[in-house]
Structure formats: structure tokens, C-alpha cells
Chain A
Amino acid sequence: MILMTDLDKLGEEEMDVLKELGNIGTGHAATSLSKLLNKDVYLSVPKVKVGEIKNLSREFIGEVVAGVIIALQDLEEKKSGYLYIMFPEKSARKIAGDLFGMDELDEEMYASTIMEVGNILSSSFCDASADFMNIILLPSPPSFAVDVPTAVIDSVVSQMAKNTNHIILFETSLSSDSDIKIYLALLPEPCLLDDMMKIMGRL
């Protein structure tokens, strides 16, 4: 049975479940980041929003980011959604520099470092969601681009826009020291919400 959860009619309960999933996922991601950087990492209060695609650009920060996009799949290889990790350029340089103990990195090295950090964050996000509600999410290898947030994400949005005019956005940020900040967004496909609701129904 395929339940198509109607995005624009998402109820309070669905939003809460999604928020909890995101919360636990980013909590684990924050722990991994903290271990990786050997620093305290703070998590902002997450937000879940349902909005129209046409207004999406208002949701993101205006500055250039190093963006990592990871597609999430379930065991049947259905697309469950996308995880979008945005590193403002200064933070990205700082993280890469700290990890290597160098100030200057060549571009190739810099890109693969940030992708790897994205990889680690998304893997812990996925592990946590599996623990929490038995939803298996398999992360794809990361895709990487440096540009303003909407320019990086719009090809993903076009995929989602084929079926809907609305998008759900789970947003939060991780920060460490004064100069490291990472923005995380989860863009779930309807099938992830359906899976979540089925599992909630069984509880």
C-alpha cells in the first residue's frame, strides 16, 4: 500500500514526529562532529516548516556556502529524501584547516575534506534515525558545490517539484567556537513521511 501523505495538509502530529527524527539525527551528527573536531558542539532548536517551493529561497542564509548534498534511500531503493549540509565558507575553511593542522589547503583537498565531514555527519544522522524508529536510511556518496544555498539545492528541488508544489524543511544548525557554524536541512520525500506514520501507528 502506498500512502501519499499530503504535504500541504501535514498535521501537528506528523510535524512532531519529523521534528523528533531530525532532532535525534542531528544530535548524533553533532556528537560525531564534536569527536572529529575535538571541540564542544552546540545544537540550535530545530524548526520544521512546510512551505511553497516558490518561497524557498527565503529560508536559507544569503552567503556563499560549501554545500554537501546526500540522497537518502530506504532498503527498497526508494528515495526517502535529501540531507543538505551547508558550511558557510569561513567555517568550511576553518574546519578543513583544523583537521589538517594547516591554514592553506589546495582546493581538491579542501573539497574532499568537506565532503568527508558531510559524509560523517550524514552517516550518524542515518544511524540515529534507524535506532530511533527502525527506519533504514542509506546515504548516497556526497555531492559537493560552492555557491549560494539556493543555487546548490535547486536541482534537488526540481526533482521534488515534479510531484509537489510544497516542500518540508527540517532545519537546524551546529556551532562550535565562535567561527564554526554548520546549517543542516532535511528535505523528506512523501515516502519517508509515510514510513514514519506507519511505524508511529504500530507503536
Chain B
Amino acid sequence: MSSVFLFISNESGKAIFLISGDVLVKSFCSLSDTCPFQDSCRSCSLLNAAKNYLAGTAPDSRIKTLDGELSAGIGEYKIGKNVLLKVMGLGSCIGVILSDVSTGICGIAHVLLPGASDRGETKYAETAIEKMVEDMVKMGARRSRITAKFAGGAQVFKHMSLDILKIGDRNAISVEETLIKKNIPILAKDVGGEVGRNVIFNPADGSMIVKYTAKGEVLWL
């Protein structure tokens, strides 16, 4: 079955829908906090616009299709062009997004540890960012146009007896320092707190979507 990712923005808000056949498989919507249907979309101007677009009845310049999605596992990074980039279930880990709007090449890293690795392991913040920049440039991105957004580094434990679990802050500092050192402008960040996060990058408008895993709250940054 053919699935299609649509990004829609209009005066009421922005949303990404994954539609497979006639079924709405998932959605990320900037209105989900106020939406009466929450995550089970029924109908709204955004969804209706998507349906009309798919039915071919209404060509709409405010709708863009994305070529699928890529998800980076723990300690990995993924690079793509016009694809949705995801890292899921971040606690103390950080999702780092780099993107070059001029060429549309972007990447996401799931950083596990602060600092750099002398063996080139991308679970470390510095190494992951360096390698991701290199790979993006190889793919055609312009080094000077790359910007960054990142989120994660929480301290999910309300009650904690093990100090080693306090790694979130160190991860966040390490990511930020690396980006500053490499002259990569930071456009947005959402770090710390007590909440786990899913981080999604929407290349159609360059926004980072942060979904708090426990509470379900969604931010578009």
C-alpha cells in the first residue's frame, strides 16, 4: 500500500499527516493541545485540506509531500533530503538536528554521551556532530549554511539514588559547546526538565517538533 507524508500549513496551524490508503496512520499537529480529538484526528480544516489534496480535487500550494521518514537509533545519526527525521524515546539523550535550508540537506543524531570519541563513535556528542557535518557536506550541503536545533537531556527521575543517572545536563552542555565551537548557529533548543521526548524534524518548513512522551504535549520550534 502506498503511504504518503503530507505537510500542511494554513491560517489555523500546521500539521504532518501520514496517510496510507484511506487511513490516517499518524499525525503531528501544532494544534493538538487545543484539539478536541487529541491524537485521533477526525476532521478539521487541516485534515480536510489533506483529503482534498489526495483526492486530487484541490491543488494546494500550502501542501508539500515528504519522501518518507528516517529514524536514528541510540548513538546513530541519519541524513536525508526532504524526509522526516526522527529520534524516539529520549531521556537523558539528545536529538541534534542540523539542516542546510539552501540545499534541503539535513540530519539528525541521537546523542548518548557527552564529549568526543577517539575511535570515531557517534554515540558521543562532539563526534556525532562532526561526522554528521562532514557527511552532509559530502552530500552537497553548504558548510556555512548549516544551522542547528536540539532537544532532550532530561532528568526523568523524580526519585533517584544513583548519581550516574544525572547525565542529561552534561549531554546538553556538550552539544551546545560543540555547536558554538563549530560556529553552527543554534536556532532553537528545548533541554532539561523531567520529561522524555520524541524529536522530529520537518524539512518542509524547518521546524523541530518535540513531543513529550509521558504527557503528550507537542511543541513546534
Q: Contact residues of A with B, CB < 8 Å?
A: 52-57, 64, 69, 71, 111-112, 115, 140-159, 161-162, 165
Q: Are B113 and A71 in contact (CB under 8 A)?
A: no
The yes or no answer to B62 lying at the interface (CB within 8 A) is no
Q: Are B159 and A57 in contact (CB under 8 A)?
A: no
Q: Are B165 and A161 in contact (CB under 8 A)?
A: no
Task: For the complex of A and B, list the 4 residue pairs with the smallest distance between their C-beta atoms, beginning with the closest.
Answer: A151-B196, A150-B89, A54-B73, A151-B91
Besides the known contacts A150-B88, A155-B164, 9 further A-B residue pairs in the complex with CB atoms under 8 A apart: A53-B73, A71-B162, A143-B161, A144-B157, A145-B91, A147-B156, A148-B196, A158-B93, A158-B113
A111 to B194, CA, bound (A): 15
What's the dominant secondary structure at chain A's contact region?
Answer: helix
A69 to B162, CA, bound (A): 9
Most buried by A among B88, B164, B213: B213
Q: Are A156 and B165 in contact (CB under 8 A)?
A: yes
Asked whether A143 and B165 contact (CB < 8 A) given A54-B74, A151-B89, A162-B113, the answer is yes
Q: Are A154 and B93 in contact (CB under 8 A)?
A: yes
Most buried by A among B76, B156, B164: B156
Q: Are B90 and A53 in contact (CB under 8 A)?
A: no
Asked whether A157 and B89 contact (CB < 8 A) given A143-B159, A147-B156, the answer is no
Encoded as 1 (CB less than 8 Å from any A CB) or 0, chain B from 158 to 199 comes to 111110111110010000000000000000000000111100
The yes or no answer to B112 lying at the interface (CB within 8 A) is yes
Q: Name the CB-closest residue of A to B123.
A: A161
A30 to B171, CA, bound (A): 37
Q: Name the CB-closest residue of A to B122.
A: A54
Asked whether A150 and B159 contact (CB < 8 A) given A54-B73, A156-B165, the answer is no
Q: Are A145 and B76 in contact (CB under 8 A)?
A: no
A141 to B196, CA, bound (A): 22
The 8 Å CB contact of B75, one of A53, A141, A145, A150, is A53
Q: Are B161 and A142 in contact (CB under 8 A)?
A: yes
Most buried by B among A55, A111, A158: A158
The 8 Å CB contact of A161, one of B75, B154, B158, is B75
Q: Are B162 and A150 in contact (CB under 8 A)?
A: no
Asked whether A157 and B74 contact (CB < 8 A) given A147-B196, A151-B90, the answer is yes
The yes or no answer to B92 lying at the interface (CB within 8 A) is yes
